[in-house]
Amino acid sequence: MNPNCNHYYNIVEKVSSLTGQWPYQKSRTRLLGLCLVTLSTFSMIVPQMAKLVKCDGNLECIFQTLTAYLLTIVTLVKLYTCYFNRCKMKTLVDQLFVEWDELKTPEEYEIMRRYAENGRRYSLGYSLYIFTSTYLFMCVSLIPQLLDVVMPLNESRPILPAHPGHYFVDERKYFYYIFSHAIVAWEIAVTGIVAHDCMLLTFVEYICSIFTLVGVRLERLTSKHADAANKSLHSRKIDTYHNQIAFSVHTHQKALRYAQLLEDTFSTTLAVQVALNTVMISITLLQITQENSDIFIATRYVVYVAAQLIHLFYLSFEGQKLIDHSLQTRNKIYNSSWYEIPPKSQRMLLFVMQKTLQPVFLTAGKVYIFSLESFTTILQTSMSYFTVLSSLE
C-alpha cells in the first residue's frame, strides 16, 4: 500500500473494520465484528416479530412494525454483501492504492488526491448523518418521559417505545432498559449500513478519478510540453504518441474492469435494497399522515423518511457521477488537438472513443440504473405505493 494515500481511506477502513468488512483483517477479527453486528440486529428482529404477532392483523400496527423490520433486513443484506464477497472486495481495495504508484505528474497526483479527499469527506458526512439520525429517532421516545417531569399531568403520558417491538415485559416499568438496548443495538447495526455505503462511495469516486486521469492524459497529447520534449526526431514523436495513447488506453480499460467488478459485487444486493427502501418510504409516509398519530410519532418518522431519502439520493448521486465521468473521456479526446498527431495514432484514438460511447452504470439487478433521474422515479413510485396503502386504511 502507498503510505501517502492511507489518510484518504482511513475512515472507510476504521468503520468497515468494526463490522468485519475490511478485507485485510484477520479471519477471526472479521468474524467477531460480523457476529457482533448480526447479534445486535437479531436482538431487534425478535421483538419486532413478536410485535407483528401481537398486532393480530391490525394494519396500522403491522405497518408501524414493518418500517423497523425492513431496515434490519437491509442491514443484514449490506453486511453480508461485503463479507461473502471477500475476494472481490480485496481486489477493489487493492486497486485504491495501486494506481497512486503509476501517477506521472503533480497534476495527476492532485486529481487523485482531490477525488480521494471527496470520498473521505462524503464518507465522514454520511456517517455522522446516519449515526445522528438513528440517535435522534431513538431519543424522541424520551420526550414524554421528560414532559412528565417538567410539565406533569394528572396521569402519566403514554409510553413511546424506542422502536416498534414487543419485549414480553411491562414497557413502562422497564422503559429505560428497553431504551438502552434499542439505542446501543441500533447504533451497532447501522454501522454495517455505513460501512457498506462508504466503501461503495469510495470505490465510485476512485473510478471517477481514473476516468478523469485518462481524459487529462489524452488532452495533453499535443501540449507544448510534449512537443518540446520530443521535437528532435519525427520517429521519436510517433513513438511517444503511441506510448502515451497506449498507456491511456490501458488505464481506461482498467477503469472499465474495475467498474464491472464493482457492478458484479453490489448489483444483486442493491436491487434488494432499492426494493425495500421504496416500500419503507411508502410505509413511513403513511405513518406520518395517520390521523391518530401524535406530534412525537410524526416527528420520529419525519427523521426516518429523511434518512431514507438521503440514503437513496447518495446512491443516485454517485451513480450519476459515474455516468458523467465515463462519458467525458470522448469529449476530452474531441476537444484535444487530435488532428496534430500522426494518422496511426489518430486511429488508436478512435478505438478509445468507441469504448466511451456506452456510459458506465451502477445498477440494481441490471434493471434499475442509479442516476438523479431514477431518484425522482423512486420518489414517484413510493408516492404511488403510499396512495395505495392510504386507500387500504
DSSP H or E segment with residue 368: strand 368-369
277 CB burial (10 A radius; 0-12, 13-18, 19+)? buried
**346/335 Cα distance (integer angstroms):** 14
pLDDT score at 322: 94
Give the tens place of pLDDT for each residue, 288-318. Answer: 877 565 777 788 888 888 888 998 999 999 9
- Return the residue matching grid coordinates 425522482: 376
User: What pLDDT was estimated at residue 373?
Assistant: 92
Q: Residue 53 in contact with residue 232, Cβ under 8 Å?
A: no
Cβ atoms within 10 Å, residue 264:
11
Reduced to 3 states, what is the DSSP secondary structure of residue 342? Answer: coil
Among left, alpha and beta (phi > 0; psi -120 to 50; other), residue 168 is left
Ordered per-residue pLDDT tens for the chain, 393 residues: 455 678 889 999 999 999 999 988 898 999 999 999 999 999 999 999 999 998 888 887 888 888 888 899 999 999 999 888 889 999 999 888 888 888 878 888 999 999 999 999 999 999 999 999 899 888 888 888 888 888 888 787 888 888 888 998 988 889 999 999 999 999 999 999 999 999 999 999 999 999 999 888 887 775 544 444 444 444 455 566 777 777 888 888 899 999 999 999 999 899 999 999 898 888 888 888 775 657 777 888 888 888 889 989 999 999 999 999 988 887 887 777 777 777 777 777 777 777 777 889 999 988 899 999 999 998 898 888 888 877 776
Query: Which residues share a beta bridge with 369?
Result: 363
Other CB atoms within 10 Å distance of the CB of residue 235: 8
Strands 363-364 and 368-369: antiparallel
Residue 187 grid cell = 447504533
According to the model, what pLDDT value does residue 4 have? 62
| Cell numbers representing residue 20 in the block | 468485519
Distance CA 76, CA 269 (A): 10
Q: Which one-letter amino acid corresponds to residue 308?
A: Q
Provide the terminal-to-terminal Cα distance of the chain, rounded to the nearest Å.
57
Helix (H) / strand (E) containing 87 = helix 86-98
Joined grid coordinates for residue 374: 431514477
Report pTM: 0.89
Q: Is 355 within 8 Å of 256 (Cβ atoms)?
A: yes
Task: Fill in the amino acid letter for 294.
Answer: D
Which residues does 287 contact at the CB level (< 8 Å), separation at least 6?
A: 63, 64, 67, 293, 297, 298, 301
pLDDT for position 291: 53
369 SS3 class = strand
Q: Is 16 left (phi over 0), alpha (psi -120 to 50) or beta?
A: alpha
User: How many CB atoms lie under 10 A from the CB of residue 73?
Assistant: 15
* Measured distance CA(263)–CA(257) in Å, rounded: 10
For residue 160, the tally of other CB atoms under 10 A from its CB is 18
Task: State whether the Cα torsion 77-82-84-88 is positive or negative.
Answer: positive
Measure the CA–CA gap between 32 and 98, rounded to whole angstroms. Answer: 29
For 111-167, write each residue's pLDDT tens digit. 999 999 999 999 999 999 999 989 988 888 888 888 888 888 878 788 888 888 899
Residues 357-387, buried b or exposed e (16+ Cβ, 10 A)? eeebbbbbeeebbbbeebbeebeeebeebbe
414517484: which residue's cell? 380
Helix axes 106-139, 295-335, angle to 10 degrees: 170
The residue to which cell 467525458 is assigned? 328
